[in-house]
Amino acid sequence: MSNTVVSSGEIVSNISISYGEQLIISTFGSAYNTSIYSGGQLTVSTFGNASNTSIYSGGQLTVSSLGGVSDTSIYAGGKLTVVSNGNASNTSILSDGQLTVSSYGRVSDTSIYAGGKLTVVSNGNASNTNILSGGNLIVTSYGSVSDTSIYSGGNLTVSSNGSVTRTIILSGAEFVAASGTTVTGTMISDGGLFSIISGANISRTMVSSGGVFIVSALGSVSDTSIYSGGLFSVISGASVSRTIILSGAEFTASSGASITDITISDGGLFTASPGANVKYVSILSGAQLTVASGANVANISILSGVQYAVSSGINISGIYVSSGGQLTVASGAITSSVSVSSGGQISVTSGASIIDTTINSGGQLTVASGAITSRVTIFSGGQISVASGASIIDTTINSGGQLTVALGVNVSGIFIYSGGQLTVSSGVTISNAYINSADLIGPSGVTFYNASIGGEFTIPSNMNFIHTSVYTSAKIIVASGATMSDTQVFAQGTLIVASGAIISNTSVGSLIVSSGGSAINTYVYANGDVTVSSGGSITSVDLGGLLTVSSGGKINGEITLHGGYATIYPDAGGTINFPGNGNHGLTISGLENGGIVTTLINNFDGASTSWSDQIKLAGIQTSNVTNVAFEDVNGNINGDFVTLILNNGNKISLNIPGAKNEGYHLASDSTGNLIYEVCFLAGSMIKTLEGEIAVEDIRIGDKILSFNWQQNKEDVQSVRWVGNKTVKVNPTLHDDEAGYPVRILKDAIAEGIPCKDLLITPEHCLFFNGKFTPARMFVNGYSIFYDYSITNYTYYHFETEEHSVIWANGVLTESYLDTGNQTQFNQHGDCAILIRPKKTKTWGKDAGAPLMVDRSYVEPLYHTLLQRAIKMDLPMMQDKKQLTHDPDFHLITQDGLTIEPISHFQGRYIFPLPDENIKSVYLVSRTSRLNDIDGPFEDNRHELGISVGSIQIVSAAYNIQVINMTNHLTQDDLPGWHTLEQQPCRWTKGKALLNLPDNNHKERKLIIQVCSDRAYPLKQKQIQSIAV
């Protein structure tokens, strides 16, 4: 039968195949009870079948191409090869027998006996394999096996991209997984050994009693369960995740190993050797975790019933202690990122350190002497107790949290929020604390250094605060017996000093000193506010804000007015110091019936009328004063005292050193209160034949020197009329129309010109280069400015034979030009101010020089005077106007309803109109004058709002209807509009009336095109209507 083919349903049985013979079974052919001897060959392919085959030494059986064999026995030297979708089942591999599976061949239910060998390679597959003692299963090069049992003495080796699933390693058996392999679902039983060599990937492994699982360098293992008696050893370079260590099991991680997600159950043991890296460990009750010095362990969960101690030299980060769990940090150990939940406890012993700890509700942290805690956060219900000798740094106490600090504790960086509680023993010093509406409990002798306070908080009695910051909107009460020093109270923060409390070296925004309280060395910010109640006292104040010392309150020391304002009563005592000139900040109340002011007023002086110190006497008017004498309280002449004699016979005594030498002026503020101020300038000095005479002393017939500018010489003019008039400033008008006088400072025009400050009205003219120009056109805010301090005054005028150029304080200016308004004037008064009538009907015929207001002429002169002022380094006396290009354009109905635009783009504003039938609206906007925007050298002072172009009403209720409105472009006398112009736009005056047609539709929109892009002052006065 040298070469026999069995096919097409043929069946052969009891055939022996010897040397040189070949039997081929194909195409549904079958062979039974076949024996293959040395040199014989049986080939089964293409749906062929062979069963009960015995392969002896040198015999060869090949199964391929959907061929199948079953119940095959391979004896010593026999070979079975399964390839190309061939299939072999129920195969026994005896000593030195060989079965090779490759190229998608499959074998199942194979038993490998001693000396037998099964090799699975190149996408071959073996399932349900039993490896008996001495048997070998080799899986390599993308071969795969599943459901394998390895018995004692059996051996499974997987390497080079081999794959193994569901393997049982029985006692005495060994399974070796090499680099590049994948192994899943392995159970290692008593005496079994599973070794992972470099680079294998292992998952879902069970290690039972007596089983040994060893993972070496670069091996990767996940989802491992170690049962009682099981041993899991991980060597350097290996990586292990998601491991459960059950009772009696043992897991050892060597140096260089990387372990994550471990659960240690009751009786389980995990040992982290030096150099091991371990993260996410859950310790159950009765479990044991051993961490050697040098191991890196993080994220441990200590569950209920667990008592875990971190030993000396150990550094663990990320510990969670749950209810019933206990953590002890031993001397020399360091833990960080620790969290304690309700019922959990942490004890930090002497020499240990704990960092970044969170104590949740019900959690407890106890810190022993010599221990260190840093960055601890306590939440509601959490508690920390710190013993003497311990250190606690950067601790946050939230609402409901509690921290107890014993004497001798080193405390730094405490953050206590509203509802948090700090209990401190006497003698403790706490540095760098932040306190927000918290609760402090402690006896006397507690000191806070470098504290920051917010919210509402009371400093307990006998506590000391040094270098403290009180934040915006905080309200702090210093209780009786408490002290504060070197304190800074920020804007809107309030400090209240109770009876018996003392504060010193304080910078404040708001301070209240209660009766019996005391404030020493206080600096008050601009816009700050200090109140000293009756019985309270304040000492040494640098005042930039407001100070009110109530009747009965005391000043012990000196109050220095650095731009601030103080209101005191006669019994305040102490000293008020006026540094420099121009201090208007002292008001004295309670003098309506006279009295002796016990406060010394130092350095009361002035450089000019507008730059003079002032004292306001509340409730006293200039009409109440009949005489002023420089005498003391006993009636003795004394230049350091001022006595005001009232018309009711009573006297007011003020102690002002040097008062007589400084002179005085009695004036009134806007509410009528008397102002006592320094006055160097009794009047403007007019040049006459007899020398310079004050304008208020000029009489009819006096000879005035005038300047003949055409011939460049002096002339003499006789005075033929003298008059005066009282002016009360109207602050609602623009500065140039309100009545404020213009002050020209000494040397403003040239050296010695004027020779001293000159006060004139805005319309009074100065003479330059043969022309008169109103003073208002030279106001620069530095050397020439509106004097806001003068709000009620009398000015003087005199008329010469001809309208003339005269000298006043060395400045060339004008005499009075009678335009028919002399009847408005009276004779003489108490303030010397020159003025020219605003309306100049005959300037063209009667003026002593031409009136010139052209910008081209005035602007160069203005800038010359401005540059001189800048070189003189003068301070700015008027605030610069803040400008905006937003016209704030809106509508106001006749009922007062404000309608804002719903959109505007490129000057096109759209307003919704109410459904009710409104007859008209006002077009309201900001206004500005060209002289306010460009500069006073511009004479155009018309109030301009917006330039309005087209106006349309659009209705879209049923169908779109558009109404074009043109009245504002054609009608002359519309309220709030300027005169018509040639262009199709018209300016408003800031509030222009627009009549609307009857409303026959709903959902109307008013569309207005604004043609102007104009600057406006950001702060708008409520300007009254003025004809310009």
The values of phi and psi at residue 825, to 5°, are -105, 150
Buried b (16+ CB within 10 A) or exposed e, 297-321: bbbbbbbebbebebbebbbbbbbbb
Q: Are 655 and 611 in contact (CB under 8 A)?
A: no
Quote the DSSP letter at residue 648: T
C-alpha pair distances (Å), 397 with each of 362, 419, 474, 830:
14, 9, 19, 69
The whole-angstrom separation of Cα 570 and Cα 459 is: 33
pLDDT at 726: 63
Least confident of 47-56, 583-592, 698-707, 729-738: 729-738
> Which pLDDT score, from 0 to 100, does residue 725 have?
65
d(CA 133, CA 110): 14
Contacts of 19 (CB under 8 A, 6+ apart): 37, 38, 39, 40, 58
Could you give the percent of the chain with pLDDT greater than 90?
A: 40
Cβ-count burial 779-811 (b if 16+ within 10 Å, e if not): bbbbbbbbbbbbbbbbbbbbbbeebbbbbbbbb
Of 576, 495, 497, 554, the C-alpha closest to 528 is: 495
pLDDT of amino acid 825: 45
Could you read off the pLDDT of 805-829 as tens digits, one per residue?
999 899 999 886 654 444 444 444 3
Confidence of residue 677 (pLDDT cuts 50, 70, 90): low
Model pLDDT, residue 890: 95
Dump pLDDT digits (tens) for 919-955: 899 999 999 988 888 889 998 888 899 999 999 988 7
What are the tens digits of pLDDT across the range 143-195? 999 999 999 889 999 988 899 999 998 888 888 888 888 999 989 888 888 88
Question: Does residue 1026 carry a pLDDT above 60?
Answer: no
**Distance of alpha carbon 511 from alpha carbon 491, whole angstroms:** 11
Q: What is the pLDDT of residue 643?
A: 92
The fraction of the chain above a pLDDT of 70, given in percent, is 92
- Whether the CB-CB separation of 535 and 553 falls below 8 Å is answered with yes
Given 3-state DSSP classes, what are the helix, strand and coil percentages for the chain, each rounded to the nearest 5?
Answer: 5, 50, 45
- Token readout for 248 is 């009696």
Contact 257, 276 (CB under 8 A): yes
DSSP secondary structure code for residue 141 in this structure = T
How far apart, in Å, are the Cα atoms of 474 and each of 397, 447, 483, 491?
19, 20, 18, 9
Q: Please report, in angstroms and rounded to a whole number, the separation of the first and last CA atoms in the chain.
A: 137
Q: Is the pLDDT of residue 679 over 70?
A: no
pLDDT of residue 98: 96
Summarised one tens digit per residue, pLDDT across range 952-993 is 988 765 556 778 898 899 888 889 999 888 788 999 999 999
Among 109, 103, 111, 110, residue whose Cα is nearest residue 86? 103
pLDDT band at 87 (very low <50, low <70, confident <90, very high): very high
Give dist(CA 319, CA 338) in Å, integer.
4
Instruction: Find the mean pLDDT for residues 361-379.
Output: 90
pLDDT for 24 beyond 90: yes
> By C-alpha distance, which of 563, 568, 593 is closest to 579?
563
Instruction: Round to whole Å and give the CA distance between 122 and 109.
Output: 20
Condensed to tens digits (0 to 9), the pLDDT of residues 554-580 reads 999 999 988 889 999 999 999 999 887
For residue 62, give the amino acid letter: T
Instruction: Note the pLDDT of residue 839.
Output: 40
Say yes or no to pLDDT of 597 above 80.
yes
Mean pLDDT along residues 692-706: 86
Q: 């009772």: which residue's tokens?
A: 247
| 230-238 mean pLDDT | 84
What is the three-class DSSP state of 589?
Answer: coil
Average pLDDT, the chain: 86
Q: What is the DSSP string of 869-934?
A: HHHTTPPP-SPPPPEES----EEEETT--EE--SEEETTEEEEEPPSS---EEEEE---B-HHHHT
Confidence (pLDDT) at 832: 29
Q: Which residue has the tokens 């996408």?
A: 123
Q: Kindly state the tokens that stand for 525.
A: 């910010």
Write down the pLDDT at residue 867: 95
| 8-state DSSP, 1023 | P
Number of C-beta neighbours around residue 402 at 10 A: 20
* Residue 836, pLDDT score: 36
pLDDT tens digits for 90-141?
999 999 999 999 999 999 999 999 999 999 999 999 999 999 999 999 999 9
pLDDT of amino acid 818: 52
User: Would you state the pLDDT for residue 933?
Assistant: 86
Which pLDDT score is estimated for 89?
96
For residue 319, give the H/E element and its range: strand 315-321
Flag whether pLDDT at 838 surpasses 70: no
Lowest mean pLDDT among 60-64, 313-317, 420-424, 991-995: 313-317
Four-CA torsion 271, 273, 278, 281, nearest 10 degrees: 20
Does the bond joining 754 to the residue before it have cis omega, within 30 degrees of 0? yes
Amino acid at 64: S
Task: Measure the CA–CA gap between 316 and 291, rounded to whole angstroms.
Answer: 9
Q: Give the separation between CA 282 and CA 406, rounded to whole angstroms.
A: 34
Q: Give pLDDT tens digits for 50-78.
A: 999 999 999 999 999 999 999 999 999 99
Backbone angles phi, psi at 865, to 5 degrees: -70, -35
**What is the chain's length?**
1028
Is residue 273 within 8 A of residue 253, CB to CB? The reply is: yes
Tens digits of residue pLDDT in 470-515: 887 888 999 999 999 999 988 778 999 999 999 999 998 899 999 9
Domains, the chain: 1-115 (no CATH), 159-302 (no CATH), 305-443 (no CATH), 685-871 (2.170.16.10), 883-1017 (no CATH)
Q: What is the DSSP letter of 418?
A: T
pLDDT of residue 248: 84
CB-based contacts of 791, cutoff 8 Å, min separation 6: 669, 670, 728, 729, 731, 740
pLDDT given at position 76: 94
8 pLDDT more than 90: no
Q: What pLDDT is recorded for position 440? A: 80
Residue by residue, DSSP assigns 725-785 as EEEE--TTS-HHHHTPPEEE-TTSSBTTBSSS-EEE-TTSEEEETTEEEEGGGG--SSSEE
Q: What is the pLDDT of residue 676?
A: 60
Flag whether pLDDT at 278 surpasses 80.
yes
Lowest-pLDDT choice from 30-34, 300-304, 388-392: 300-304
